[in-house]
Amino acid sequence: MRPHTSVFQDETRLDINYLPSRLLHRETQLNFLNQFFRFATESPGKMSQRVLIVGKIGTGKTVLSQHFGLNITTEAQKRGINLHYVHVNCRECKGSLFMILQQTILKFIPHFPKRGYSEAEMLQALMQILDERNAYLILAMDELETLIRNGGPDPLYKLTRIHETRLKAPQRLSLICILREPECLEMLDPSTKSTLQRNIIHLEEYSKIQLRDIINARVTLTFRQGTVSAQTIDLISELAASEGGNARYAIELLWRAGKYADASELLEVSPECARKAAVSIYPVIQKDTIASLGLHEKLFLLGVARRFKQTDAAYITMGDAEDAYAVVCEEHGERKRGHTQLWEYVKTLSASGIIKTEISSLGQRGKTTLISLPMVPASDLEQELSKMLHMKKE
């Protein structure tokens, strides 16, 4: 018997720290960063810059900044400019400016003493290192909220005002501040807040179409050809779009769905694998929600679950759901309800988040309601409903 071949070609491309060579749907924002920092490669030392990148989780803030950092340092190297980009996470540094500066200095001097300096001395030491090496630094501080909440306005005041104490020296330190919650800026003094808000790049949530492009690109990099269906990609895109356009969540779903496929020794990552992955990340469908449904709502939902078990499709039509419901009613000795009543069930199930509905695309004949089961595996749902209905009979 031949051993099962993994659906993955290189799953490291789905690691959270992986930096893709191409940044999809953030070209405009990347161009803004390039324009804000043109001086760094054209007239280094003549000025410094502070840029704020704002957006919800999974909108690409970190990867945008890192991609820019790689590009600009590569360009600077070609021009013989000693420019460095250092990315630090304020939460990992426990919201401490001392630890942020320490982590930055260690990039230049790996054996720099970790004790014996005050915060102010660490900042002066960093500037001295840059002077001695004729170097320039773009310091990107991710999850800036933690630094503001922990240190108040002082840390950012010191960083944004450092060049005022070095009037005749080259301006060597620029900042990229990355945060999810712009309301945190209200904790800063008006001058510092004004300085940071001068150059803002706001990242909107990814749309379903944009998420599909991102997932498609990762599939090409990560999976063996033909192992991830278009239906699965579409379902993962929909799930991530419903979670605030979260690309990070989409990539995590894709990886977990691949793992479920391998664990089941499947040749393809099916929509059911994606549904199982969604439950393992965010178990949103609670048993008590299903238990609170009426008898025919449960019978209808059981029919939907069974139909999804029989197909790799991400959607079924309302007609398919009605046919499956009729079979379930016959099994349980129940008289089936009419279309109007079933439509009420669909609306109830959709409002509870168990199913999702949308109108068919223009490519299909006529218009019909499409039903998806985005947040729970069909097999798990069938098992739970069958158990509940069996207990009701006893």
Per residue in 201-250, pLDDT tens? 999 999 999 999 999 999 999 999 999 999 999 999 999 998 889 999 99
Which amino acid, 227? Answer: T
At 266-309, the pLDDT tens digits run: 999 999 999 999 888 755 455 767 887 889 999 999 999 999 99
Q: Considering only residues 393 and 377, tell me which one the structure prediction assigns the higher pLDDT.
A: 377
Alpha-carbon span 262 to 281, nearest angstrom: 18
- For residue 365, the model assigns a pLDDT of 56
| pLDDT of 9 above 50 | yes
At 25-41, the pLDDT tens digits run: 999 999 999 999 999 99
Alpha-carbon span 217 to 20, nearest angstrom: 9
Alpha-carbon span 241 to 59, nearest angstrom: 11
* CB atoms near residue 293 (< 10 Å): 19
Strands (E), 210-283: none
Mutual orientation of helices 295-309 and 339-351 as an angle, nearest 10°?
80
Q: In which residue ranges of the chain is CATH 1.10.10.10 found?
A: 287-393
Sign of CA dihedral 70, 76, 80, 85: negative
Smallest CA-to-CA distance from 156 within 52, 37, 44 is with 52
Could you tell me which CATH number the domain at 207-281 has? 1.10.8.60
Alpha-carbon span 113 to 101, nearest angstrom: 12
At 53-89, the pLDDT tens digits run: 999 989 999 999 999 999 999 999 999 999 999 999 9
Q: In which residue ranges of the chain is CATH 1.10.8.60 found?
A: 207-281
Q: What is the mean pLDDT of residues 191-205?
A: 90
CA distances from 46 to 41, 50, 199, 248, 382 (A): 11, 14, 18, 38, 67
Could you tell me which CATH number the domain at 287-393 has? 1.10.10.10
| pLDDT of 141 above 80 | yes
Q: In which residue ranges of the chain is CATH 3.40.50.300 found?
A: 27-203
- What architecture is the 27-203 domain classified under in CATH? 3-Layer(aba) Sandwich (3.40)
Alpha-carbon span 58 to 39, nearest angstrom: 30
Residues written for the chain: 394
Q: Which of 20-34, 171-185, 250-264, 280-294 has the lowest mean pLDDT?
A: 280-294
* CB atoms near residue 346 (< 10 Å): 21
pTM, 2 dp: 0.77
At 326-363, the pLDDT tens digits run: 999 999 999 999 999 999 899 888 877 788 888 776 45
- For residue 282, the model assigns a pLDDT of 57
Alpha-carbon span 148 to 127, nearest angstrom: 22
Q: Are 373 and 300 in contact (CB under 8 A)?
A: no
